[in-house]
Structures are given as C-alpha cells and as structure tokens.
Amino acid sequence: MAKEDVIVIGSGGGGAVIAKELGEMGLKVLVLEAGPWYGNKKWQNPNLQPGAKISSTFDDLDVSLYKQLVNKYEQNMNDLVSGRFRWGPADRSRSQWFRNIKQKGMIWQSSGVGGTTQVYTANCPRAFPMAVDHVWPLSYLELIPYYEKVEDTLPVNFAPTTAKEELFYYGAKKAGWHLIPTLDVTVPGFRPQPNAILPPNNNILNPHVRLEELSWMEGCTLAGHCVNGCPHGPSMDKIAKRSTNVSYVPLALKTSNVTIRPNAFVLKIVTDIDSSEGLRAIGVVIRDTWTGEKEELQAKVVVMAAGSIESPRLWMNSGLPHNPWVGKGLVNHYMDWLTGIFAEKELMPILGSSDVNPFVGHTCGARLDYPGLGTLQTVGMSPGLTASFFGMSESGYDFLTSSMTKGRLYGDELKEVMTNYRRTLSVLVSTDDEVDPQNGITLDPLISDEHGSVPVVAYKPTKRSKRKRSELVKIAVDILYKAGAKKIIWSNWPAGNMIHMESTMRMGFVVDENCESYDVKRLYIADNSVHYNSLGGPNPTLTTQALATRTAEKLFNKYF
C-alpha cells in the first residue's frame, strides 16, 4: 500500500486550500471527497456512472463539461434532496445523507469537489479584529499575512455595483451610516462585499459582444448564479466565482503532487501508539460511495476538512479519545431574513430603472458591518429559492396585514410579494453568535447509516445572541424603509438555519493554535470547526482558508 505524505478529508473551503499549499511545498497529498467531481473529463456522467477512481492532472479539467452539468436551473442544482449541490452521494437516484435535526431549520451544505463553496456566494470578509484579539489563542496580526495570501490567490475583490447594491448604499447613507473603506473592520458602516469573484470583463457594457460570448470570457457577467453554480469563464481555473473547485483545486493539480479521489467517504481515522509520539493518526478507512467497497489508506499526517458536522462525527465514529469539546460550541450566526418591497416610482429617481432585479449581479454584493453586533448583507436569488426563504419562520403565519409582516408568507400575500419579485431587496442578518457548549453535534444512539452513527445537530441561541439579532433586525428595517420600501417582510427565521456553521472543534480546546489535535498527534483540522468563535458575524470561509494556509506551514515545519 502506497503511503501518502498527507491525506486530506474533504475538498471544500479548507481542504482544497491546504492540499494546494502542501502540494506546492513538495508533499504528496491525497484528497478524499465524499461527493462527485463536476468538470473533470474522467467523470463524463458523474451522477450516473462511477467513472474513474482518481484524477491528479490539471489537463483532466474540462470547462465545456462543467458548463453542461452546472446548468443554473435552481431545482436541478439547489434542491436539498436531489440537487447536484446537495449533501449526498454522486448518484442522485439515491437519497441524501441523513442528519437528525430535531428543530426547525435547514442545513445548507454540499458534497462534491469544491464542497459547500460550490454553492456559497463567495463572500470573503475578514473576521472582526475585536472578535479575535485577546480572545483567540492567536492574534489578528498573525492572521493578516495569511488573509492577504488567500485574498491574492482566490483572488478577492470588492463587488461591483448593480441596482441592488446601489439601493442598499442609498438606504444605508440615508439612515446615517458611513462607508468604511477597510478590510479590518473596527467601526460600524457599510461597504461593498469583498468577494472571491473575478471583476466583470471590460466588455460587459459593449453591445457588440454578445452575452453568450461574454460567458466564455474572463470575468463576472453579473448573471446572478452564484448560488445556482457559476459556470462562466474560458477555462476551469478562470471561472468567475471562485469556489475551491475552480480556484485552489486547479492550482493544487498544477503542483503535480496532489491527487483527488471523489466518491470516497471516510469512515474512520486509523491510529496507532508510537513510543515517542503516543497516540497518532496513521491513515483512514474509506468507503467507495458507488461500490460500497472499503479500503484502508495510510499517510504520515491526516487532515480533517470535512466540515463542522462531519469532522466531529468522524472523530466520534472513529472512537478517538473523549474530549468534552468535540462537537460542542456550534455557532451558526443565528440568522434572520428581511425583504423590502419597493414601488416603481420610488425606484426610478434612485436607480434610473423601475426594477431592482434581485437576480442580477453578485448574489451578496453589499454589506453593513457592526463589530459587537454582527453583519447585514444584501441577497438576491432566483425565484424558487427566494420564495422558499419566505416559508421558514419561528413565528408561523402572520395573520395581520400592515406595512410590516412578521412571519411566514402564504396565500395572497405571498402572491403579492412574488408578483413584485423584481422590485424586492432582501437582507440577511448574520449575528455575532456566542459559543455555548450546549449547542453542537452528537451521535444518534439509535440511528446509523452506511457511514456509522448519524449526527444529531442542535442549536439554540443564547440570550445575548437573541438581543444582538434583534438590534440588527432594527437596523435592517430602518435601512429598507429609508431606501423607500413600502412594505417589509420580516421572516423571523428559525434558529436552526445552518448556513455558517463554525466552532465545533474549537481551537484551544480540541486543537492547538496550529490546528493539530491535542489528543491525537499528526491529526490536523482545516475547516470552519476550528474557529474559536463566530468571528463577530462575518462569513467564515476566508478565515478558514487563511487558517488552512497557516496550518500547512506549521504542519510542514513540524513533520517534514
């Protein structure tokens, strides 16, 4: 059995990053991914046939195949049960993988090369310095060079302005907020979203270049399919939205040191006891999701990057030592959702157009940051997803009609809002969420699947998180009214909406400041789960990627 230098479990936000970094350092890396690989010649029909076992060369990437598979249809791509971007095996005629969640909510994660970054909106804000300094086991200053490296590699840029950002900036200014022209946020204010999306091509406004031609050129076309899967660009490594399958994975393959194996679910971390190191990781057991065959693979170092649910689940299903913080302390930015409906005559003088067209431009192009409270972000999505977000509420149906509805939409009111879909602006509230050991991932004592005991996911906000969310809701309502909204829908989302999960394998508790586990040597973690807290509210991916970059360095220096 060939022994790898490093095995990385998961190819999403963190796994692809650490694989590329280690590959560039000359280590032989095997990345194991549970889901399919879209846009690789070795998997022409990734959802129908097993295809090849591995791919390790950049030449295998095929943008035409990617464009054929990632077809931007929201049910086909985003359905949580049968969509291409779901948490499940490549074969879509089979069910998704089960998680037991005994409360209102949903878990938005995706398997497949690129992981959940396939479906993320590419937002790349840094953590708030105040949420890291004197709180985390490392300082914000120590993170900055790694932030810069990731921002340069993805690359990150500020979102261009389309109508919905313009409307948000207009409302925020009228509400008394100022532009904060910074990456390191210490005071409240609005700013364009730092996004891992290539800037629009210079021909975006050139009527002689057809939009279809533009979609084969470099740069964002403002098509609005960040969540449905962006396939626009001339080659796989130059797709506009920088999911890791188009950013870090191509770079990893270019090192000639990285091999990626999709359709491989890791069941167990294998350990032994070494006379000098004590308990240490020496490999993994995987299960081929097409054939069901199991196999043991060995490595000098193992990196878990399976996400905030699967990393602790794998730890516990592997029977690794009991640590009271494994799976505990889940934060999810205790989110909420507000939508303003605007009248044509109000929009004309602000935008020069009668519609907001939420489906145009970056899905999340503008934000307001408030250290100590959290963040607000504009969101514009395709209609099915938009409508489905009106179906979730902690407060059920609101049977009242006024200029503000709190609760779930139904009947004529839903109809009215959706008829006005093109004149809506939605805002996502993302709270500076507090770590509470009551929240997190445990194993279901009664239910197991082909990969072991299934995870139970539980989250309840603390009083402080609740207070912060309600402050942010007030700010969002004010901005929407100041922008001219004639009516606001306040969804009052359930607490269990898991979109930004973090902190279930906390730094300083489960892993040290270099992200190596305290209990098992040579076992590292490179996903959101190592975050010490919720970063103050900003989206987690960039921080995960910065930490993964740093972890690669630390791991290399210690063991190679």
Cα(451)–Cα(453) distance, rounded to whole angstroms?
Answer: 7
* Minimal distance, residue 440 CB to other proteins, in Å: 16
Residues 490-549 binding other proteins (CB under 8 A) are: 494, 496
Q: Does 81 bind other proteins (CB under 8 A)?
A: yes
Among the candidate windows 281-289, 298-306, 383-391, 518-526, which touches other proteins by CB under 8 A? 383-391
Interacting residues with other proteins between 36 and 75 (CB under 8 A): 45, 47-48, 71-75
User: Residue 555 burial (CB < 10 Å; 0-12/13-18/19+)?
Assistant: buried
Q: What is the 3-state secondary structure (H, E, C) of 518-540?
A: CCCECEEECCHHHCCCCCCCCCC
**Which range of residues in 275-283, 315-323, 391-399, 514-522 is near other proteins by CB under 8 A?**
391-399
Provide, rounded to whole angstroms, the least separation between the CB of residue 235 and other proteins: 10
Stretch that binds other proteins, among 9-17, 112-120, 223-231, 277-285 (CB under 8 A): 223-231
Site for other proteins in 113-132 (CB under 8 A): none
Question: Token pair of 230, please?
Answer: 């962006």
Judge contact between 111 and 33, C-beta under 8 A: yes
CB of 295 to other proteins, least distance (A): 21
Residue 284, SS3 per DSSP: strand
Q: How far is the CB of 482 from other proteins (least distance, A)?
A: 18
Question: Does residue 234 belong to the site contacting other proteins (CB under 8 A)?
Answer: no
Segment interacting with other proteins, rule: CB under 8 A, options 32-40, 160-168, 368-376, 516-524: 160-168
CA torsion 506-29-143-542 (nearest 10°) is: -80
Q: Which is nearer to other proteins, 256 or 448 (CB)?
A: 448
Interaction of residue 294 with other proteins, rule CB under 8 A: no
Considering only CA atoms, which of 36, 130, 163 is closest in space to residue 89?
36
- Please tell me whether residue 76 binds other proteins under the rule CB under 8 A: yes
| Segment contacting other proteins by CB under 8 A, of 190-198, 315-323, 463-471, 523-531 | 190-198
Binding of other proteins by 386 (CB under 8 A): yes
- State the DSSP H helix or E strand holding residue 383, giving kind and residue range, or none if neither: helix 383-389
> Which residue's CB is nearer to other proteins, number 81 or number 187?
81
Count, residues near other proteins per rule CB under 8 A: 100
With 0-12 / 13-18 / 19 or more C-beta atoms within 10 angstroms meaning exposed / middle / buried, residue 419 is exposed
Q: Which of residues 419-458 bind other proteins (CB under 8 A)?
A: 419, 421-422, 446-450, 454
Least distance (Å) between residue 45 CB and other proteins: 8
Query: In sequence order, what DSSP letters do the residues of 312-335 get, joined into one string?
Result: HHHHHHTTPPP-TTTTB--B----
Measured CA to CA, the distance from residue 319 to residue 248 in angstroms comes to 32
The Cα 214–Cα 222 span in angstroms is 11
Secondary element (H or E) of residue 425: strand 424-431
Give the pair of three-digit tokens for residue 334. 């205790």
Q: Taking CB under 8 A as the criterion, which residues in 237-266 touch other proteins?
A: 237-238
In contact, 154 and 124? CB cutoff 8 Å:
yes
Nearer to other proteins, 18 or 392 (CB): 392
- Closest approach, Cβ 87 to other proteins, in A, equals 11
Nearer to other proteins, 350 or 552 (CB): 350
Q: Which of 2, 208, 212, 324 binds other proteins (CB under 8 A)?
A: 212
Q: Contact, 267 vs 286, CB < 8 A?
A: yes
Q: Which of 1, 2, 59, 93 binds other proteins (CB under 8 A)?
A: 93
**Considering the rule CB under 8 A, would residue 412 count as an interface residue with other proteins?**
yes
Minimum gap (Å) between residue 30 Cβ and other proteins: 25
User: According to the binding rule CB under 8 A, does residue 108 interact with other proteins?
Assistant: no
Q: Residue by residue, what is the 3-state secondary structure of 341-368? A: ECCHHHHHHHHCCCCCCCCCCCCCCEEE
Stretch that binds other proteins, among 1-9, 159-167, 475-483, 505-513 (CB under 8 A): 159-167
Site track 162-181 with other proteins (rule: CB under 8 A), x = hit: xx-xx--x---------x-x
Enumerate the β-bridge partners of residue 498.
Answer: 107
Count CA within 13 A, CB hemisphere, residue 129. 11
Closest CA to 146 of 166, 128, 126, 160: 126
**Identity of the residue numbered 31:** V
Residues 327-366 that bind other proteins (CB under 8 A): 357, 359-361
Structural contact between residues 184 and 140, judged by C-beta atoms closer than 8 angstroms? yes
Q: What backbone torsions phi and psi does residue 432 show, to the nearest 5 degrees? A: -70, 90
Query: Of the ranges 147-155, 268-276, 467-475, 520-528, which one interacts with other proteins (CB under 8 A)?
Result: 147-155
Hey, which residues between 478 and 497 contact other proteins (CB under 8 A)?
A: 494, 496
Instruction: Give whichever of 296 and 449 is closer to other proteins, judged by the CB atom.
Output: 449
